[in-house]
Structure 1
Amino acid sequence: MSKTALSTTLRLSALTLALCAAFDTRAQTAAASPVETGTPAALERPVTALVVERTDIDASGAVAPATFGGSEYNRDFLRGFKNDSALRNGHRDYGYLGTECFCSMESIEVLKGPASALYGNGKPGGDLNSIAKMPGLVDYRNISVFTSSPGLSRVRLDVADVVGDVSYRVNAQAYSGATYTDYNNRQSAFIVPVIEWRVTPDLKLTVSYNGGYLDATWNPQLLANQALLGLPAKRFLGEPDNRMRIVDNTTRMELDYKLANGDHLRQALLYQVESYRDAGLAYDTYNYALADLVDTAGNVKRVSQRDRANQTIFVSQSELIGRGTLAQIPVEYLLGLEIGRFDYRYKLDVGSGSAINIYRPVYGAAMAGALDTLADQTYGTDNLVLYSQNRFQLSPSIRLLLGLRAERYRDYLQEAGEARSSQSDSLFSPRVGLTYQLHPNWIAALSWTNSSRPQIGAKSASGKLFRPEAGTQTEGSLQYTAPDESLKMTTSLFSITRKNVLTQDLASPNFQIDSGRRHSRGIEEDLSYSFTPELKLDAAASYTSAYVSHDTVLPVGALLAGVPKWFSSLYLGYDVTPAWSLGAGYVFESRRTATLPDNGVSLPAMSSIDLTVTYKTKKWSIDATLVNSGNHRGFTSDGYTVTPVNPREFQLTGRYKF
């Protein structure tokens, strides 16, 4: 079965594939081995990771939209809330982790419930953890070439080997060409070497580096204006010389030591330096409301804009992972200490700019010679965290999970020419989960998750920083697995509340206060069925009601922007012969509110079908994919900006093992 068409459904349905990731003790691709108690295998839980080659994922924008080149890791929503951060090999993402090369990622792990709060992202509804490709392969060499109908071409190389006690793997990628948007092009190059040294039989050292750049046309983000949404997806309303450049350097190191009793000590370090630059003409949202951006003649107001940002991240994680007994109860435990620092510098300059007609654009306008600085900020956070997650085997059929994250942090914010504001606080995030084997084929689960997250980079009218955002989730789920494992079904019910959300300060309308509250509740259904070993179906459906439950300005009950109430996806794969495979993927999202507060513009219901065919031999394979075969129009929204769904596009990928 070809994996390429999985990209259609992965973008949203993968978020609902895992039932009990909440009961894994670590963010890794496979569940921990069972405690030796004779527990039925079914209780060991469904796999948390959906392994799909990166070529298949980012070629169609399944995780990050193709026009972003990976600079935004995931813009979809997890159970009603924007997924504005993620995890990389268990390292916490502050929402700015940067441009990781997809060529080096092996899989994506979907975490829900208690496990999603382990590393402190403050998203009780769930999280994503990307898992890197690691050494260990012997004499492995793979090259792939990708091209698309708009004109984007890419070459990837994956080389690995084992030399004595040292294993290495090097992934590299270079691409260049045009996207489906007029006058838009991208150039990028990345290299990601990983070295693993077995220092002794019990001590392993792993060092990796992610380095590269992205240079692309800076395309002004589409906004919730009715005239703009009526344009073809390819329409470009910036200037051809608009540019964006990202440079990333990320180094990771991990020591893993196996103790005499079988426990593991893990010490991991992350250090990243990244810079971002863009300049060009963009929409003038500084002087005009969204509804007033386009006049009756079809001219959209624009400004000259330049953004510059630099960030530095350091994270240290020290963990003890093992198993033992407590009062004769088998327990798997994880104890950790995290020390982190995040620093971010951002500067925004804006000046005058000429309008452009949205129906008959004429390019050639230059940026203004003089720009005014609208923002010049330095902000960040230091944190010290103790965290623990423990899974108890109360009986052959009952497991209890208890976890706690205790964090002491210090936030700071400094505007240019002003004194630095800072604050310190302590956060406690407990979580509990329970699974019960009702029957050899049925598992029930309940969980309650609490999470907290500092609000970095914002301050009130009085100059004080905001208290952390807090979230809680209650979830119940039921899973059925057929005796022959040909059918797996999962039903999940959830309710999430997020408190201390920023909302407008009525006494000082240009500032915010932290008294808002948002709520999301829903039901998810996932199904996987093998008609035959060659013919398989994966399906997912969900209903999500996400709304404002308290605010100073927004009406209670207002729907959260960008969140579809109804979602469904299907993927059907058929291995015609050992060499030939066919696949078809379908995704549907219901009508959504485009912005919050609602400006009266909504995003229509959308659907898309991808079709793929694969031919493979032992040495090489070819994938041909038709993305959005019906060429249906559609949009996604992050609550303010809007992204068109990829128009019909033909993609061809060839891989060769040499």
Structure 2
Amino acid sequence: MKSQRLKIFFWQSILLTGSAVVFTIKPVRVVALPIIAAKIPASNQQLLPRTRITKSVTTIREIRRLIDAQKLVQSPTPLQAEVITVTGVKVNSTDKGLEVVLETGVKSDRLQVTPKTEGNSYVADIPNAQLRLASGNTFRQSKPVAGITEVSVTNIDGNTLRVTVTGESSAPAVELFDSNEGLVFGVTSSAITGQQPKPPQQKPSSSENQAPIELEVTAPPETGYNPIDTAVGTRTNTPLRDIPQTVNVIPQQVITDQHILYIGDALKNVGVSAEREPGSQDRFIIRGFNSSFGNILIDGLRGFSLGGSAALNLNNIERVEVLRGPASVLYGRAGLGGVVNLVTKPPLKDPYYSADFSIGNFNSYRGSLDFSGPLTTNKNVSYRFNASYLNSDSFIDFYNEERYQFAGALSWDIDRNTKLTFNSSYGDYNSSLTNEGLPAIGTLYPNPNGKVPISRYVGEVGTTDIITTRLSYKIEHHFNDNWSIENAFGLLNVKIDNSPIGRGVPIALQPDNETLTRRRFVQVGESFQNGTDLNTLVTGQFKTGSLEHQLIVGTEYAWSFVNGYNQNFTASSINIFNPVYGFGGGGTLSNQSSSSTNAYNLGVYAQDLITLSQNFKLVLGGRYDWTWQTNDNKLASTSTNFSSEAFSPRVGIVYQPIKPLSLYASYARSFVPQAGLTATGQAFQPQDGTQYEIGAKADLLGDKLSVDLALFDLTQSNILTNDPNNSGFSIPVGEANSKGVELFITGEISPGWNVIASYAYANPRVTEDNSIPVGKELPGAAQNIASLWTTYIIPKGNLKGFGAGLGLYYVGDRFVDSANTLKLPNYVRTDAALFYRQEKFDAALNFQNLFDINYFEGAFGSTPVNTTVYYGYPFTVNFTLRWKF
């Protein structure tokens, strides 16, 4: 039966992609060029004829990063000069080094190159040229061949393109060639020639030509720890240093190195704590405020709500982004702490195939596939297919989870200005029980009867099945080099089916300190959520006098529907030291609810990134939202309607005294609608938030290492609190404030040595409330959170490819209850890894909680007898093999 279900799900996923794809791995015909060393003159260079060779060479994979360097500083060029568009960048290896091809579609002699040498880098500026790749407007490739550390092609302003080739010990020698494809930079690597490049004595002879060769071309995902751009902060791909707000990126390389399977494990790298809650969901706390699963985006569109993080699968996720602080100016309703954006893996232009398999303790085993490549000879249609399967027990008795996912993406470059991308995913998460936690007495506090084992389960064994289906598309069209439009649509369906036996939810520990009272929670039938999100965005670049603008104007319409029927029964107690499972007679029905909720949101927004001068940038933005919500009580046959409006502004200034350093200050607001009525029948005002932030961002070691520092002051208003004049009602007059500082370091310290580290301090406290004393800390929020993860891979020599990683994660103590009477202790967890990496093969051994400490991830309750705590995972080990072919 299980194998039949797997087959059905597989073919469903294939159908979701919109096309059937036959994967064939075979060599691809390519042609490489010879490069002869040449010194670079101080003025514009003359293009030499391009020639061909037939010596066997290895073609370097082409990486197209989804980043778009902003064009903010205009170069002084004649107004009548035509801007030539570069539509593609290729990097191919040669017997002398490599070649960089700028595809223009016109004769490259129309491009004027002004070269110079800066340290170990050859830098060439090309006026009247702009980079417009189908997948972004910046190209960057690290370590394409021995002796060359990086090749990059970027737009440095609205009229000028820059090509940078950085050598390991000295600037490489470069010669220019003309070709039918465009302009070719021939680079000679000293590591390949065995000596420093010398000037050529003559041009290559055509008599050296031989027949082209066939070889395999691969295009792996992005690598490295330090992405330089992101779209989550501005809805356009923008350099991180130009965004006046803190943005963290957990790239694919970190996810791979740490063997990350769950979103909470990724967020621990950037000072975000994930508190466990019933239902195996995570409550993310950013800057002291709850930023739970309702604040998750997928490719900038609304993500999960029902089912929460338990349904998330990172198999098809390229990287995880965190926008800290208010995000309502771009994304509408969003918590004050921040939003998390999951960026899916894009289709690649060149063939890429990988498979991995891992095994670990707790009877864990997992396998995944990642296939991508072109479907047409001209590569205007490409695909991506991801599949994964996981089966694992746990440290909790009787627990087993099984999850699998199929995801497909299809990209079509309709023409050089228009691109259409489809995405789909189908996932099934099945577990044998819901983590109900353990009583605080016997774990957090002493119990005269002894310590409760960490593996004890006090609920009832049943099943939870969460099925998630997601479809989306995005179409982008460039009217010209300055104006474009983008339309994106997402459709989400989540179904949750729990065992009809129901859950045994803990209530309180009795005076004998061994009998735990419980309630029986039953979900009748399926609970489900349907949601859609439609966003249209127009982007334009223009000048008003000496000011340069990057303007976005957009509109968003979102809808969600949630339906569920739940019942609560009295249930038999359980002995926490000698449990006997089963509800007996099933209990007496105490309460039930059957409801559905329709929520609608319409927002219009605009933002302008203004270049005031070469050193100053100003961000002005605003969004207005209208929300409507209808709650239907099916048992009482009643319906309640709520509506609200909110304006969310954003102002930020960035000062860049030198290129690698940005100083900024910003102000922003957020809002979250609140359902319900006051005693007088008025709808609650939205919960709103305000943030003031100042900070600094520095790119060091040739942009390989980034350091971010931020100070913030957040205030959350209109928090619901008890109405002192009307018992049983609430009024939105509560307020909380959080002040703090954050430090983030990420990138490459030296060849082979990478690091991602963070420190976050926040002091969230109640500043106004009718029932909670002013000054109390918000529950679940640790004041201090720190992390360090570093890896070193030996880059050359006999031990090339061997490496190791070490991680330290600190979470400070935090209160469980709003009265601040119960506190979870701090902890330090140690992780480690061993690696062996080759071009076509990887092996890794990952250790989590290396010293097997007992620690608590979260808890809820108000007194010791009714508090439930959740342990973090004990010592865990996984061994992974990965093949690339």
Residue 111 (structure 1) aligns with:
323
Structure 2 counterparts to residues 462-481 of structure 1, below 5 A: 465-481=683-699
1:150-193 CA-partner distances (Å, limit 9, x unpaired):
11222111111211232111111122231221110012222111
C-alpha deviation, 1:506, in angstroms: 4.0
Residue 470 (structure 2) aligns with:
250
2:874 aligned counterpart, secondary structure: coil
Change beyond 3 A, Cα 1:333–1:234:
farther
Residue 126 (structure 1) aligns with:
338
1:592 equivalenced with 2:819 (yes/no): no
Aligned equivalents of 2:662 and 2:502: distance in 1? 56
8 Å Cα contact 1:196-1:205 kept in structure 2? yes
Residue 880 (structure 2) aligns with:
653
1:630 equivalenced with 2:832 (yes/no): no
C-alpha deviation, 1:365, in angstroms: 4.3
C-alpha deviation, 1:255, in angstroms: 1.3
C-alpha deviation, 1:59, in angstroms: 6.1
1:355-405 CA-partner distances (Å, limit 9, x unpaired):
112122233445717645422222231121101121000000000001111
Aligned equivalents of 1:333 and 1:97: distance in 2? 37
Change beyond 3 A, Cα 1:31–1:356:
farther
Aligned equivalents of 2:739 and 2:275: distance in 1? 32
1:301 aligned counterpart, secondary structure: strand
1:52 equivalenced with 2:252 (yes/no): yes
Mean Cα deviation higher: 643-652 or 137-146: 137-146
C-alpha deviation, 1:67, in angstroms: 12
Residue 15 (structure 2) aligns with:
none
C-alpha deviation, 1:346, in angstroms: 2.5
Change beyond 3 A, Cα 1:188–1:534:
closer
Mean Cα deviation higher: 398-407 or 221-230: 221-230
1:53-95 CA-partner distances (Å, limit 9, x unpaired):
5552216950489999999785331100112122110113474
Change beyond 3 A, Cα 1:440–1:215:
closer
Aligned equivalents of 1:29 and 1:125: distance in 2? 26
Pick one of 408, 411, 429 that aligns with 1:193: 408
C-alpha deviation, 1:220, in angstroms: 3.9
Structure 1 residues not aligned, in runs of 5+: 1-27
Aligned equivalents of 1:109 and 1:520: distance in 2? 22
8 Å Cα contact 1:82-1:638 kept in structure 2? no
> What code does the residue aligned with 1:80 have?
G
1:335-370 CA-partner distances (Å, limit 9, x unpaired):
111111111112221113221121222334457176
Mean Cα deviation higher: 376-385 or 474-483: 474-483
8 Å Cα contact 2:289-2:336 kept in structure 1? no
Aligned equivalents of 1:100 and 1:60: distance in 2? 7
Structure 2 counterparts to residues 250-649 of structure 1, below 5 A: 250-279=470-499, 280=501, 282=503, 284=505, 288=507, 292-307=508-523, 308-365=526-583, 368=586, 371=589, 373-416=591-634, 417-456=636-675, 458-460=676-678, 465-482=683-700, 484-485=702-703, 488-507=706-725, 509-528=727-746, 532-576=750-794, 577-598=799-820, 600-637=821-858, 642-649=869-876
Change beyond 3 A, Cα 1:528–1:139:
closer
8 Å Cα contact 1:158-1:171 kept in structure 2? yes
C-alpha deviation, 1:571, in angstroms: 1.8
Aligned equivalents of 1:526 and 1:375: distance in 2? 46
Pick one of 156, 164, 174 that aligns with 2:389: 174
Aligned equivalents of 2:306 and 2:563: distance in 1? 12
1:57 aligned counterpart, secondary structure: coil
Change beyond 3 A, Cα 1:201–1:559:
same
8 Å Cα contact 1:284-1:293 kept in structure 2? no
1:80 equivalenced with 2:288 (yes/no): yes
Change beyond 3 A, Cα 1:567–1:64:
closer
Asked which structure has the greater CA Rg, the reply is 2
1:312 aligned counterpart, secondary structure: strand
> What code does the residue aligned with 2:348 have?
G
8 Å Cα contact 2:262-2:312 kept in structure 1? no
> What code does the residue aligned with 1:620 have?
F
Structure 2 residues not aligned, in runs of 5+: 1-64, 76-155, 163-227, 229-237, 242-246, 269-273, 446-451, 862-867
Aligned equivalents of 2:67 and 2:280: distance in 1? 26
Mean Cα deviation higher: 67-76 or 447-456: 67-76
8 Å Cα contact 2:275-2:858 kept in structure 1? no
8 Å Cα contact 1:561-1:638 kept in structure 2? no
Mean Cα deviation higher: 613-622 or 373-382: 373-382
> What code does the residue aligned with 2:875 have?
R
C-alpha deviation, 1:507, in angstroms: 4.7
Residue 208 (structure 2) aligns with:
none
Residue 7 (structure 1) aligns with:
none
Aligned equivalents of 1:573 and 1:237: distance in 2? 40
Residue 108 (structure 2) aligns with:
none
C-alpha deviation, 1:536, in angstroms: 3.9
1:392 aligned counterpart, secondary structure: strand
1:179-222 CA-partner distances (Å, limit 9, x unpaired):
22111001222211111122233222211211122111222432
Change beyond 3 A, Cα 1:44–1:337:
closer
Change beyond 3 A, Cα 1:157–1:517:
same
Mean Cα deviation higher: 560-569 or 483-492: 483-492
C-alpha deviation, 1:639, in angstroms: 6.0
Change beyond 3 A, Cα 1:354–1:67:
farther
Aligned equivalents of 1:530 and 1:195: distance in 2? 33
Residue 231 (structure 2) aligns with:
none
8 Å Cα contact 1:125-1:473 kept in structure 2? no
Aligned equivalents of 1:647 and 1:491: distance in 2? 33
> What code does the residue aligned with 1:374 have?
Q
8 Å Cα contact 1:143-1:157 kept in structure 2? yes
**Pairwise CA RMSD:** 3.0
Change beyond 3 A, Cα 1:116–1:465:
closer
C-alpha deviation, 1:297, in angstroms: 3.8
Mean Cα deviation higher: 94-103 or 617-626: 94-103
8 Å Cα contact 1:224-1:595 kept in structure 2? no
Change beyond 3 A, Cα 1:604–1:486:
same
Aligned equivalents of 1:638 and 1:394: distance in 2? 49
Aligned equivalents of 2:458 and 2:278: distance in 1? 22
Aligned equivalents of 1:366 and 1:337: distance in 2? 55
Residue 213 (structure 1) aligns with:
428
1:75 aligned counterpart, secondary structure: strand
Q: TM-score, normalised by structure 2?
A: 0.66
2:850 aligned counterpart, secondary structure: coil
Report the count of equivalent residues: 623
Aligned equivalents of 1:534 and 1:314: distance in 2? 43
C-alpha deviation, 1:614, in angstroms: 0.9
Structure 2 counterparts to residues 60-99 of structure 1, below 5 A: 62-63=265-266, 75-84=283-292, 85-93=295-303, 95-96=305-306, 99=311
1:118 aligned counterpart, secondary structure: helix
> What code does the residue aligned with 2:252 have?
V
1:280-307 CA-partner distances (Å, limit 9, x unpaired):
554556xx5xxx4344241111122113
Change beyond 3 A, Cα 1:281–1:596:
farther
Aligned equivalents of 1:345 and 1:97: distance in 2? 12
Aligned equivalents of 1:653 and 1:117: distance in 2? 42
Aligned equivalents of 2:562 and 2:265: distance in 1? 28
Aligned equivalents of 1:470 and 1:190: distance in 2? 37
Change beyond 3 A, Cα 1:193–1:202:
same
Change beyond 3 A, Cα 1:247–1:321:
same
Residue 147 (structure 1) aligns with:
359
Structure 2 counterparts to residues 21-60 of structure 1, below 5 A: 30=67, 32-37=69-74, 44-46=239-241, 48-52=248-252, 54=255, 56-58=259-261
8 Å Cα contact 2:328-2:669 kept in structure 1? no
1:62 aligned counterpart, secondary structure: helix
Aligned sequence identity (%): 23
Mean Cα deviation higher: 647-656 or 121-130: 121-130
